[in-house]
Each structure stands twice: as C-alpha cells, then as structure tokens.
Structure 1
Amino acid sequence: MFKLVLFFVATLAASFVAAETAYFGFITQGTQEEFVFELNDDAKIAHARRILSGEETDRVHVLGRIIKGSQPYNPKFHFSFDSNTIDFFHYAPKACDSSLLYVEYHLSEVCGAFLPNCQYCPWASKLTREVNV
C-alpha cells in the first residue's frame, strides 16, 4: 500500500513540473531579420530541435496566432506568436501566408482581411537556430 501511495505522490509531483521554455528563430523570404518565438511545450521544443538537426524534413514551417506588441526576446518586431498556438506544418492555407516584413509593415491590418483570425503561417519560414535568451 505504501508503494502505491508513493507512486501516486511521485506521479502528481511530476505533473506539476513546468515544461521547459525554449526560444527559436526563423526567417522568411525577403529578409535576413530573424523572428524569435517562445515554445513551452516539450514535444514542440523537441520537434523544433529535430528540424534544426535535419532529422525532421516534413513539418518544418512554423505557424501560430499573432499577438500585437513587442516581446523582450523579439525586439525587432512589433508582434509575436501566442506560444500556446505555435505548431509546425508542411502545407497550410494561402490566406495565412506572408513574409515577416510584410506583416510588420501592415500590422494594423492583421486579424482582419489580412491574416484572418490572426493566423500566420509563412510558407517560406525557415528555422535558423535555437536562441539563448
């Protein structure tokens, strides 16, 4: 009985351990300006690391919901990704595709006719590195 209680306590304690936080950069066509985003999901962090190592070759482009406003880890842009919505894709709808600079220059139009529902899925996104913040 004691071992069973100890098992449940250990399982419960493990569920309270926070996920790792990692930051990654990507670029899109037309710019070498790197966009940095935050990941808090261990599986997605591992996926991003597999992309960078060359092990993952299918779902290699990044997508997420835009939040207007700068982040300290991404000061060059006036928008970021909601880290809870970030994922990786092979194909995505054309309606959410754009370059980083186009989004930055047309940020007032984002979440309306341009990038409806704030969804951003740059087809030409290429992960560049894991960023130490």
Structure 2
Amino acid sequence: MRRITTRIGMLAAAALLAVAAAGPAQGKQASDAAHRAQAESAAYFVMTDITREEFVIKLTDPRKIQHARDLLSGASSSEPHVIGRIDKRPAPYNWRWSFHLRPDTIDFFDFAIEVCDATTPYVEEHLDEAGGPFLPGLIWCPWTSKLVREVPQP
C-alpha cells in the first residue's frame, strides 16, 4: 500500500510540475502576442520645435493616433503641442537623440506650465539634469512643438 501511495504522489508531483512549467510559457506566448499587436497598432510622428530639429514620437493609443492625424490633415487645431515623460534611453525609431518620450505618457496640450518647456537640443544637452529642477518628473512639454508628418513604422 505504501508503494502505491508513493507512486501516486510522484505522479501527482510530476503532473503539477508539468502544469506549472506550461503556465509561464503560455503566459509568455500571450505576452508576446500582445506586444506584437501593440507594435502593429503603433504610429510614428515627427515633431519639431522652434529649432526645427526633428524628434520622432511613437503613439499607441488609437484616440491619440487619430488626434495626431487630425492635426496633420487640418481637421483639428486644438491641443497641437506634445507632452510626455522622458525616458533617458535612445529608441530605435528616434535614433538621433539619446532620449525619447514614453509612448504611454504622450498626450497633447494647448497651454502648459513653463517648468516643462525646453527645446529638443536643450534637453539633449542637459539630459543628465532632467528629472530634478530641470524638467521635474521628467515631464517635457515643448511649447513650440508641432507635428509635421507621420512616418512609417521602422
């Protein structure tokens, strides 16, 4: 009787391990699929500021993508400026700069407070200071920003 109980216990443990090992793999597959779907639904736009330097942003929210397209087509003129939280790392779609805006934080505005205003080259030159008194919270809102065109996904 003891042998049977031991074998049943071993089989149950093996089955539990198999189920536990399959769970993360299935979760990873679902996560990969969600990531691919998000990448496919992303749109990329070039913005400039008073310096006329070009900076690429990635939008993933369908409502914001539509707003950006409306700005470019002239269907809308409200909230023409870009605001978002800086990530102090380069992005493949924005290779020229050593920072980018986190897509999940990007929005549009009409007016903003002065503390988040800076030109793109100024942010690049003072990136190590961003997040302190310069651009607190890493929020960047260039007052003269405007979208100039949509670009294909890199």
Identify the TM-score tier after normalising by the shorter chain: 0.7 to 0.9
Match of residue 23 from structure 1: 44
- Normalized per residue, which structure has more helix? 2
1:108 maps onto 2:94 in alignment: no
Percent of aligned pairs with the same residue? 47
What is the aligned counterpart of 2:117 among 69, 72, 97?
Answer: 97
TM-score (norm 1): 0.84
Of Structure 1 and Structure 2, the greater strand share is in 1
CA distance, structure 2, for counterparts of residue 61 and residue 33 of structure 1: 15
Gapped regions of structure 2 (runs ≥ 5): 1-33
C-alpha separation in 1, matches of 2:61 and 2:85: 16
Task: Kindly state the Cα deviation for residue 58 of structure 1 after the two structures are TM-superposed.
Answer: 1.5
One-letter amino acid matched to 1:22: A
Which residue in 2 is equivalent to 1:125?
A: 145
Partner Cα distance (1:55, 1:104) in 2: 32
Number of aligned residues: 117
Structure 1 residue ranges, 4+ long, deviating more than 3 angstroms after superposition: none
Which residue number in structure 2 is paired with residue 8 of structure 1? none
After superposition, give the CA deviation of every residue in 1:53-90 in whole Å (9 maximum; x if it has no partner). 01111210000000001111001101001111100000
- Residue 29 of structure 1: SS of its match in structure 2? coil
Superposition RMSD in Å? 1.4
Runs of 5+ in structure 1 lacking a partner?
A: 1-15
Structure 1 position 33, deviation (Å): 2.3
What's the secondary structure of 2:67's corresponding residue?
helix
Q: Which residue of 2 aligns with 1:82?
A: 102
> What TM-score do the two structures reach when normalised by structure 2?
0.73
Ranked by relative contact order (alpha carbons within 8 Å, sequence separation 6 or more), the top structure is 1
